Structure 1
Amino acid sequence: MAKPVREVARLVLLDANNAALLMRYDDGLADRISYWVTPGGALERGESHRAAALRELMEETGLAAEIGAELWERHFDLELPQGAVHQHERFFLARVDTVAPRVFNSSPEPIREHRWWSLSALKATRDVIYPEDFTSALATVLNGAPHGAA
């Protein structure tokens, strides 16, 4: 039987210094370590990816930003507490005009920390970041080419 598809919108949110906002999750499961991801989440019924990105941004950070270009997408299988899904994520660019604005989580998600990461800090970290190629993808975005472009 095919796994249900979980549609997800994610944001590559950059501040005025081109630092990217990531959120650290620690779901408390003994066999999983904490990890960093971009803001975003599953679409609600009838919601577009862009609308979901805006909603998730407000819920997970308290920030509002204009949603820009779609940067890339990815597909993978994921085991959730509710069962296995095939996740389809679409990533969009968004920017804020200030440097490292203060953020807060008003969602029920187990977000433990928000951090604005410079590209050099991302390259130096040993922390787990998803997607695994986020650092190289961000470098491509900052250099002006869409991720995956030849």
Structure 2
Amino acid sequence: MTRAPTDVPAGARLAARVILIDSLDRVLFCRGVEPGKGAVFHVMPGGGLEAGETFEDAARREVLEETGLRVEIGPWVWWRRHRHVWDGREADQYERFFVARVHFPAEVAAARPDSYVTESRWWTLEEIAAAQEVFVPRRAAELLPDVLAGRAGEVMDCGV
């Protein structure tokens, strides 16, 4: 089912993610381990909206919390709705992805001990495409070239 990108589904957990790009056109992914299952995946920085927060505010806050970097949030380029089981519970999450750039090869803060994230790393497109690992969204290697080139176009569903 296609949903207009401005429709926020009732009852879904709302979250913001950031396609964080450094001066070498690398994209930051956080290595996560799913509680209970041990499944490893790589996800862009982000997390749930707090009460009264906009998606952009949440994106800015989450990048600061997860990386120690203060960034200016750029355009909203992707969205996704992800229904899944997390830590033994059913979850329904609606996410918006925003672009942000840092104009230097940035070092990021260590992972928080209370987080499912174990580390963060900058990845080139070539490394993402060649990796035998799970990236979220799964179409990251396909979709990121347009974002890196500044031609993301209309806000689109990036899939799970």
Query: Runs in 1 of length 4+ with deviation above 4 angstroms?
Result: 147-150
**Structure 1 unmatched runs, 5+:** none
Aligned residues: 148
Percent identity over paired residues: 34
For the Cα contact (< 8 Å) 1:59–1:105, is it kept in 2?
no
Which residue, out of 58, 62, 66, partners 1:56? 62
Structure 1 range deviating more: 33-42 or 132-141: 132-141
Q: Paired residue for 2:89?
A: 83
Q: Which residue, 21, 30, 45 being the options, matches 1:14?
A: 21
Q: Is 1:65 paired with 2:65? A: no
Alignment CA distance shift 1:102-1:81 (3 Å): closer
Does the CA-based 8 Å contact 1:25-1:112 persist in structure 2? Answer: yes
Q: 2: distance between equivalents of 1:46 and 1:5?
A: 16
Structure 2 matches for 1:1-150, cutoff 5 A? 4-29=11-36, 31-81=37-87, 83-106=89-112, 108-146=114-152
Structure 2, unmatched stretches of 5+, are 1-8
Partners of 1:102 and 1:84 in 2: how far apart? 31
TM-score (norm 2): 0.83
Q: Deviations over 1:44-65 (max 9, x none)?
A: 1111000101111111111111
